[in-house]
Amino acid sequence: MNFNEKLNNKIEMVNKALKEYLAPRYPERLYEAMGYSVFAGGKRLRPVLMLSACEAVGGKEEDALPFACAMEMIHTYSLIHDDLPAMDNDDFRRGKPTCHKAFDEALAILAGDGLLTYAFEIMLNTICDRKDMNYAKAARYIAENSGTCGMLVGQVVDVESEGVSIDDKTLMYIHDNKTGGLIKASLVAGAIIGGATEDEIRDFEKIGYNIGIAFQIKDDILDVTSTSEILGKPVFSDEKNNKSTYVTLHGLENAQEDFKTLSEGAVRMIENFGKNGEFLRSYADTLINRIN
């Protein structure tokens, strides 16, 4: 199998499992709303990272599948709530109406709450069924990095910083937590489930940090160097929204330089995992070279 076939396999595996988790049942509108957002065109970045990190340390990707689905649910809940009128007030995401537009605001709030709770239910089911403390450890890492030590606090500071000029330290805090939190958690949880040693877990924390920040710098770069046709969303939106980004704080050239350093660092660390890490290495390359 070549890289693309392997990637599609992983995505298919995740989509199939997500479809089962979100099969219609009472109350139907809730499952409709949750399913609508989960199947609104996400690239399954975080689940793929989790499955590949599990493989990289010699584990079986199937073992990480329930957690990979839980992670995609947590990611989706955060998008649904971020899009709400009181937050970013976005009517469209990936060209489709956002959850509160397709349904209504009350159901969007509840669908987000539902996906977050369901994610923990799935993880706790796995912990109880397999009676394996590694799953509990992985779930704890995900909880921390979704909440008080990750995505949620990043989002709080991001919301607070709206229309205010912020310093580099605050920007890095937002990026490392808001975007980096779930990316790091996906890699580390996958590695823990795959049986990683303490050293390997620390390696994946660093890889996750690098990929998370690099991913966000790339977003900031594309916003000023791409076209709206390629990106599928308006360009120069950060400038229009008066938003401090890595590019506005450091300049385009430094942003490109730092992106390169972080990406290359991540790839070098992944290479230490040898043959088992090959897929993850190639996947990191596609993230580095992405044009939208």
Q: Kindly list the residues in this chain that would bind a second copy in the complex (CB under 8 A).
A: 26-27, 29-30, 77, 81, 84, 86-87, 100, 104-107, 109-110, 112-114, 116-118, 120-121, 124-125, 127-128, 131, 133, 136-137, 139-140, 143-144, 146-148, 152-153, 155-157, 159-160
Residue number, 140 or 202, with CB nearest to a second copy: 140
Residue whose CB is less far from a second copy, 3 or 120: 120
Least distance from C-beta 230 to a second copy, angstroms? Answer: 31
Query: Is cis: bond before 97, omega within 30 of 0?
Result: no
CB of 130 to a second copy, least distance (A): 10
What residue has token string 């010699």?
58
User: What's the half-sphere exposure (Cβ side, CA atoms, 13 Å) at 77?
Assistant: 24
Nearer to a second copy, 170 or 226 (CB): 170
Beta bridge partners of 96: 93
Nearer to a second copy, 146 or 216 (CB): 146
DSSP symbols for 220-287: HHHHHHS-HHHHSS-SSHHHHTT---HHHHH-HHHHHHHHHHHHHHHHHHHHTTGGGGHHHHHHHHHH
Q: How far is CA 237 from CA 136, 221, 227, in A?
A: 40, 12, 11
Q: Closest approach of Cβ 287 to a second copy, in Å?
A: 26
State the minimum distance, in angstroms, from the CB of residue 205 to a second copy.
Answer: 17
